[in-house]
Chain A
Amino acid sequence: MELDDLKSIWKQDKPGFEPKKEAEIASMIKGRSNSIISKLKRSVWFELIFTIVCGIVFGVYALTLESGALMWTIISLIVLFVSYLFYYVKKIVLLNKFDSSTENLKNSLQHLSERLTTYLNFYKKSYAILYPVYFCLGLLFGAMERGIDDFLHRLSQPKTILYLIVLAGIFFVCTILITNWYLKKLYGNHLDKLKELLNELQG
């Protein structure tokens, strides 16, 4: 069976493509893109704006406080929010680089695969940094609650040190495992699929 035979079969009874009306096309291009990249961008923008609004509200509230543990807690949260802003901006920059729709399929797959790998590595690294920050903040709030002297006294005891090391280890391992599992579930399959397609093209 030659290609021409297949073409002649293909053309049998094939309903011709009906050109879409102008109004129909116009309504299509007004719609929002439903690609996962567009959805990711929208959710990151939402998180960014939400963080800014929360930061401003917390900042204004902190100004009304004279001093004390609550004020320092709020200030530390604002510092954390600022670090999150850099994180979100970096994520948006990475997501904006995802558009390779005008390249040929092979290049597009190659670039998508590379960029998705970079994005996932960045995601993992940022969480690997943020989790210890959360842990230290937890310790700081504990110290504030108990009083610095009492906290330092407890911290000098070997039993407390061992307890904190075990706790930090469990916290770190669990969070890394959860992050990896979550990322694998969300994007890992897609990355595998992209690599599979790329291998097929290169093979």
Chain B
Amino acid sequence: MFQEIVLQLWKSFPTFRGESKITTWMYRIALNTAISGLRKLGRKIKTEELDEYHFNISESPEDHREDDLQKLQWAIRQLTEIERAMIMMALDEVPYGEIAETIGITQNNVRVRMNRIREKIRNLIR
């Protein structure tokens, strides 16, 4: 996937007109390649349910941090592809304006969706 994105960036670079930030343009290509690119379907990503063991195993603060990260990663995997893309951008400190431009929705819509995603994650890792 990484190579495919690099290839698409390389092929599309001549069409970059500087109308948007280079990072927005790069996110667009990466997202379009990852989400809307034609690919073989039918094979579902295998996800594993976290049980009590996964949630209670840690003892030290360091282990807790590790656990929080694992829980967050697991929760993100439960989201839809679009929600996943949005939260990943937000976690990477991409401003809402840039997320809106990349996805093609309004900033208000981004804000509403982000609230919903945050709520969803909170319920998942509670």
Contacts of B16 in A (CB 8 A): 102
Docked complex Cα distance between A107 and B33 (Å): 14
Range for the number of chain B residues in contact with chain A: 35 or more
Whether A190 contacts B41 by the Cβ 8 Å rule is yes
Contact at B33–A197, with CB atoms within 8 Å? no
What does the 1/0 interface line of B40-72 toward A look like (CB < 8 Å)? 111000000000000000000000011011001
Complex-state Cα separation, A63 to B57, whole angstroms: 82
Given A6-B121, A102-B12, A104-B102 in contact, is the A13-B37 Cβ separation under 8 Å?
no
A178 in the interface, Cβ–Cβ < 8 Å? Answer: no
From A27-35, A73-81, A165-173, the one touching the partner chain is A27-35
B107-121 vs A, Cβ < 8 Å mask (1 yes, 0 no): 000000010001001
Q: Contact partner of B91 among A7, A106, A197, A201, CB < 8 A?
A: A7
Query: Is B121's CB under 8 angstroms from A1's CB?
Result: yes
B interface, over-half SS: helix
Q: What residues of A have a CB within 8 angstroms of the CB of B105 in the complex?
A: 106, 201
Q: How far is the CA of A2 from the CA of B122 in the complex (A)?
A: 9
B31–A29 CB distance below 8 A: no
Query: Beyond A33-B8, A36-B40, is A101–B29 a contact (Cβ under 8 Å)?
Result: yes
A35, B85: Cα distance in complex, Å:
20
Chain A interface mostly helix, strand, loop or mixed?
Answer: helix
Check: A67 CB closer than 8 A to any chain B CB: no
Q: What separation, in Å, do the CA atoms of A71 and B60 have in the docked complex?
A: 86
Of the candidates A31, A35, A36, A101, the one having the most CB atoms from chain B within 10 angstroms of its own CB is A101
- Assess whether B82 is in contact with A102, with CB atoms less than 8 Å apart: no
In the bound complex, do residue B3 and residue A1 qualify as a contact, i.e. CB atoms below 8 Å apart?
no
Q: 1/0 contact trace for A104-133 toward B, CB 8 Å?
A: 111111001000000000000000000000
Q: Which residues in A have their C-beta under 8 angstroms from that of B33?
A: 35, 101
Is there an interface contact between B104 and A35, defined as CB atoms closer than 8 Å? no
Q: Is the CB of B32 within 8 A of A197?
A: no
Closest chain A residue, CB of each to CB of B24: A104
**CB-nearest residue of chain B relative to A27?**
B3
User: Would you list 7 pairs from A and B whose C-beta atoms are within 8 A, ordered by A residue?
Assistant: A3-B114, A7-B90, A36-B39, A37-B37, A105-B28, A109-B36, A201-B105
Shortest 9 CB-CB contacts between residues of A and residues of B:
A106-B104, A104-B104, A36-B38, A29-B10, A10-B91, A101-B32, A1-B122, A28-B6, A189-B41
19 further contact pairs, Cβ within 8 A, besides A3-B90, A6-B72, A35-B38: A7-B93, A9-B68, A10-B69, A12-B68, A25-B6, A28-B7, A29-B10, A33-B8, A36-B39, A99-B12, A101-B29, A105-B35, A105-B36, A105-B103, A106-B103, A109-B36, A112-B36, A190-B39, A200-B82
